[in-house]
Amino acid sequence: MVRRALQQPYGGADGLQAQAVCATLATDPGLQPLLPYLVPMLADEVGRRLVHAGHLQLMLSATHALLRNPHLRLVPYIHHVLPAVLSCLLARNIGGVAADHWVVRDQAAEVLRHIARQSQQHSDEFSMALARVQSTLMGSLFEKAPETQYGSLVGLMAFGVPVLLHAVVPSVKRYSHLFHGTNGCSHANLELRAALMTVLGRCMAWQHGAYADVVWRAVSDAGLVQAVGAIAPAPEVHL
């Protein structure tokens, strides 16, 4: 039943059926023998149906449910999960023209956040895989497509503020076009700007503002003090 529901075309499972499937995946203690088949199937469905946002959301919900199941050990299958999550974060064209692919990217980031939290319990087994994911996300910050840049930002947020301080804050200047002229007015650029503001806000607030000066120095160097000033009052920055 689970496999049939997950493989229905275009995410065809209705809302109640999808909820029932995900509830089963999150709680059933007998699914471990099925993981060698179920996890690769979920990853394959993502790869085959990137143009169907509803189906991607179902696949991500199912993956998240498996990760939350306390009876399962997914570590041996994480190499199937992570590429699928990255595809949902970084692929430029997701879900067709009218689809809200931003929801898919946000959901993928939430799955990645869960994996990153679990890595604290399996540091040796997860560390290399997650290091590669971070490297991929950091490299994608420099892609031209704002959709991909957005996926990179929300994906990096899953790893916490220290990663953001290292990967994003020093590169704030390259986002200055989002705050000037008409370039920042497209829907994609507005979404990207909102994600960047969230990143900067988290970095400023982290550890009771201990790194606010670092963030504001980068913002000042980018000439964005006035544009970004809505996050928090700018401290005196000693350049």
Report the chain's terminal Cα–Cα distance, integer Å. Answer: 63
Contacts of residue 168, defined as CB under 8 A and 6 or more positions apart, other chains included, come to: 141, 153, 156, 196, 199, 203
Which of 145, 173, 195 is the last residue in one of the domains? 145
CA–CA–CA angle 12, 14, 54 (5° rounding): 50
Report whether 30 contacts 49 (CB < 8 A).
no
Which pLDDT does position 103 carry in this prediction?
Answer: 93
Distance (Å, whole) CA 13 – CA 54: 10
What secondary structure does DSSP assign to 113-127, as a single string?
HHHHHHTTTSHHHHH
Q: Are both 96 and 175 inside the same structural domain?
A: no
Which pLDDT does position 171 carry in this prediction?
Answer: 93
Domain that holds residue 8: 1-145
Which of 110, 145, 180 is the last residue in one of the domains? 145
The model's pLDDT over 84-140, given as tens digits with 9 standing for 90+, comes to 999 999 998 887 655 689 999 999 999 999 999 888 776 676 788 899 999 999 999
Number of domains in the chain: 2
The answer to the question of residue 55 being in a domain is yes
- Is the pLDDT at 198 greater than 70? The verdict is yes
Q: Are both 26 and 130 inside the same structural domain?
A: yes
Which pLDDT does position 96 carry in this prediction?
Answer: 66
Q: Are both 81 and 170 inside the same structural domain?
A: no
The answer to the question of residue 41 being in a domain is yes
Report whether 179 contacts 227 (CB < 8 A).
yes
Distance (Å, whole) CA 75 – CA 125: 7
Q: Are both 9 and 123 inside the same structural domain?
A: yes
Q: Are both 97 and 73 inside the same structural domain?
A: yes
Residue 64 sits in a domain of what CATH number? 1.25.40.770
The model's pLDDT over 157-185, given as tens digits with 9 standing for 90+, comes to 999 999 999 999 999 999 988 887 666 57
Which pLDDT does position 11 carry in this prediction?
Answer: 44
Which pLDDT does position 185 carry in this prediction?
Answer: 72
- The neighbour count for residue 40, using CB atoms within 10 Å, is 15
Over residues 5-16, mean pLDDT: 59
Q: Are both 130 and 31 inside the same structural domain?
A: yes
- Is the pLDDT at 17 greater than 90? The verdict is no
